[in-house]
Structure 1
Amino acid sequence: MYSILSSFAQALARWMAYAGGAVLLIVVGLTCISIAGRALLPFNLGVGPIKGIYDITEIGMAAAVFAFLPWCQVQRGHAAVDLFEPVFPPLLNRLLDLLFDGAMFAVALVVTYRMYLGMADKMRYGETTQIAQIPVWYGYAASLVGAAAFVLVAAFCVIRAARALVRGKADGAHV
Structure 2
Amino acid sequence: MHRIVTFVASAMAVLGGAVLTLLIALTCVSILGRLANGLLHNAVTSDVFAKVAQRLLDAGFGPVLGAFELVEAGVAFAIFAFLPICQISGGHATVDLFTARLPDGASRVLQIVIDVVFALVLALIAWRLFEGMQGKMRYNETTFMLQMPIWWSYLASFLAAALAAVVGIYVALARLVETLTGQRILGTQDGSEA
**Count of aligned residue pairs for this structure pair:** 171
Shift of 1:77: 2.1
Structure number with higher relative contact order (C-alpha < 8 Å, ≥ 6 residues apart): 1
Match of 1:36 in 2: 32
Q: SS where residue 136 of structure 2 aligns?
A: helix
2:15 aligned with 1:15, yes or no? no
Deviations 1:89-135 (A, max 9, x none): 11111111111110011101111011000001101100011222111
| Cα pair distance change 1:173/1:106, threshold 3 Å | farther
Contact 1:9–1:152 (CA<8 Å) still a contact in 2? no
Percent identity between matched residues is: 38
- The residue type equivalent to 2:15 in the other structure is A
Alignment of 1:86-125 (within 5 A): 86-125=100-139
Runs of 4+ with deviation above 6 angstroms: none
* Structure exhibiting the larger radius of gyration computed from Cα positions: 2
Name the residue aligned to 2:175: 161
Match of 1:68 in 2: 82
- Determine the structure 1 residue equivalent to 2:142: 128
RMSD across aligned positions (CA): 1.6
Unaligned residue ranges in structure 1 (runs of 5+):
none
State the TM-score, normalized to the length of structure 2: 0.82
SS in 1 for 2:99: coil
1:151, CA displacement in angstroms?
A: 1.1
Task: State TM-score, norm by structure 1.
Answer: 0.91
